[in-house]
Copies of this chain bind each other. A is one copy, B any other.
């Protein structure tokens, strides 16, 4: 056959196979799939032969040790849970913390002697492997030790007590346990038994653990406390939300592990608090159908879920996610932060929710928030697109940072609320608070973003007719006005502002800002001279439905007469600073004598704003103006958070563990109109699980009382927390403090 004869001729390509392409398999990419599920597990055999058994099978193994019973000592009042600070978890399983010894009792068919070869084996995930830390045998003798220490702490009759110390950096999650006896023919071991499954958590009490926190007051608050207070409102009129973190409630620990499983986080990464917190910051929010825990919604329409303001705690959310395996609707920043806090405390990472008042957001880590004025000095709402959030909540968690140079361990910012402008940044942190304070924002993760949230300037631009803009005023003190968290122990606030920033105007502050600019943060460089007229807006505490007066003070600091053409704009805003509706626009001309001040009174009638209110009932006043004599611009901003009616919560009864008590919620509709589609929710850490009640209508002026019975589960000071929510009125709260005696 010659070459020519055999020359193949091209033919049309066959049509591609129809139907969707099959899922691409892993073959050729990696030797085995990476274990990433804690619920998957591979059983290990009851008997592992050494070599092939002979034709007559095994010889009788009667001379070797046999295991008759294993006691995990897992009752809440036994020493394991007491010493490991896990007695509050509502779980039948043993729960311990790494880097600290726990005990198990093993009973054999005869007394254990030192020549017996036994091991207690722990496995986690599928494909357990010694070198990956997913299979850990623990031996009772000093001669033979693995990364987890073992010793016999007691021996009596056929029973021994083994003290086992998991490595302080071991994987956190749910392990299964086996007892194995080595014989010359093979290894004999206990059958898989779910009652011997145990959870190993992070340990802030162990000095070798990366989350070690050497302060018992802080640990009691940031790991053990279920009662939370989350601050909101305005920096000069602070409101509180109560929250039941519920980290010890039945099913919550499993839900937290499920979150990591759902994210396909490799099992081997789960001992590293940096990776766990970073991954969780991404998984807490469900963006673009990635099936995270919570769907964000700031639209005001919560028909298809629960309004963010209506939740009383994390339990409902986490259990719904774990059982439905679907994202839960809906969250805003404090819901993300509160559920994240539950996740962290539940796994043993010390954490707290912090609130930053006037938080720069969505500005891609730059140090500028732009407000555009028209040529006459009035605000140009159409062109002002940046917004300052009245407040924003994130979490701090405590850990060492071996991935960074020394000095950046300690509290770290993590934030589960998705950022909009950022480059796909639906995760944030851990970012060292120390690094943020010192402007060392070149270190991972996302320190520059958090730095901008507390340090941006508000820049007012005057827009010319040709579209160009000149900066006319820079407010360097508005953003990051106050950072708060709940103080450990009590129910009071703790001011963290000095953890994030040096004092305004200090030399250190200037140095830090310069350093941040060296690392690429952009700031407004021009510094227009301050006007010689100051504009001061008062602090107001107003209830929803009240008429009130806004008193603007114009202070002339010059020796000449000044005339200010002022523009006063009042608008209803979301807590994100986004304007919903204008309800007030006035433009008085104010004349001020040299070195004098003038007060301008603006009357705000409730009928003007009531029909326009959105959920958190914030009114935003911006006053801008041009000084006729100098052309300088004056500005002032004020957020007024209208106070909602409150729920009255009352608790009565014995006040003792396991004795029935009663909680009542009372509400009076203070308005002349009816409230429709009303949900009331109530729960209490250690007292009652979440309950809710629906009222189709509450007529104007009418009252209601809802009573529930409950049985306290443990001693100590706690709270009953209640919320009321309906489309016309959100963010109505009430709580009662209860102390339960033994």
Residues of B within 8 A of A13 (CB): 679, 694
Residues of B within 8 A of A468 (CB): 130, 137, 146
| B31 adjacent to A385 (CB under 8 Å) | yes
Residue A10 interfacial (CB < 8 Å): yes
Residue A716 interfacial (CB < 8 Å): no
- A15-58: CB near B (< 8 Å → 1, else 0) gives 01100011011111111101000000000000000100000000
Q: Which residue on B lies nearest to A461, using beta carbons?
A: B131
Residue A206 interfacial (CB < 8 Å): no
| B187 adjacent to A702 (CB under 8 Å) | no
Copies of this chain, count: 2
| A465 adjacent to B182 (CB under 8 Å) | yes
Task: Name the one of B1, B131, B266, B518 contacting A370, with C-beta atoms under 8 angstroms.
Answer: B131
* Known contacts A28-B298, A466-B182: A269-B364 contact under CB 8 Å: yes
Residues of B within 8 A of A491 (CB): none
Instruction: Give the Cβ gap from A279 to chain B, nearest Cβ, in Å.
Output: 5
CA gap between A132 and B370 in the complex, in Å? 9
Instruction: Give the Cβ gap from A264 to chain B, nearest Cβ, in Å.
Output: 8
CB-contacts of A446-461 with B (<8 A): 448, 461
| A1 adjacent to B519 (CB under 8 Å) | no
Q: Which of A151-159, A227-235, A475-483, A574-582 contacts B (4 or more CB under 8 A)?
A: A574-582
Q: Which of A192-200, A418-426, A526-534 contacts B (4 or more CB under 8 A)?
A: A418-426
CB-contacts of A409-423 with B (<8 A): 420-423
Residues of B within 8 A of A339 (CB): none
Task: Name the one of B6, B279, B702 contacting A3, with C-beta atoms under 8 angstroms.
Answer: B702
CA gap between A135 and B305 in the complex, in Å? 40
| B423 adjacent to A269 (CB under 8 Å) | yes
CA gap between A442 and B447 in the complex, in Å? 13
- A459-493: CB near B (< 8 Å → 1, else 0) gives 00101011111000000000000000000000000
CA gap between A135 and B463 in the complex, in Å? 13
CA gap between A180 and B424 in the complex, in Å? 36
Residues of B within 8 A of A129 (CB): 383, 385
* Known contacts A30-B420, A402-B518, A702-B6: A304-B17 contact under CB 8 Å: yes
Task: Name the one of B22, B130, B467 contacting A137, with C-beta atoms under 8 angstroms.
Answer: B467
| A27 adjacent to B698 (CB under 8 Å) | no
Residue A282 interfacial (CB < 8 Å): yes
- A76-107: CB near B (< 8 Å → 1, else 0) gives 00000000000000000000000000000000
Q: Which of A605-613, A644-652, A703-711 contacts B (4 or more CB under 8 A)?
A: A703-711
Binding site for B on A (CB under 8 A): 1, 3, 6-14, 16-17, 21-22, 24-32, 34, 50, 117, 119, 121, 127, 129-132, 135, 137, 146, 180, 182, 187, 263-266, 268-269, 275, 278-279, 282, 288, 290, 295-301, 303-305, 329-330, 362, 364, 370, 372, 383-387, 402-405, 420-424, 442-445, 448, 461, 463, 465-469, 518-520, 574, 576, 578-580, 614, 668, 677, 679, 693-699, 701-706
10 closest Cβ contacts across the A-B interface? A6-B702, A21-B304, A28-B298, A29-B298, A13-B694, A28-B574, A403-B520, A402-B520, A3-B703, A27-B299
**A–B complex contacts, Cβ < 8 Å, 27 sampled:** A3-B668, A8-B698, A8-B702, A8-B704, A10-B706, A11-B695, A12-B694, A13-B679, A14-B677, A24-B297, A27-B578, A28-B578, A29-B420, A29-B574, A30-B387, A30-B576, A31-B385, A34-B362, A34-B421, A130-B469, A131-B372, A263-B424, A269-B421, A279-B424, A402-B519, A403-B448, A404-B442
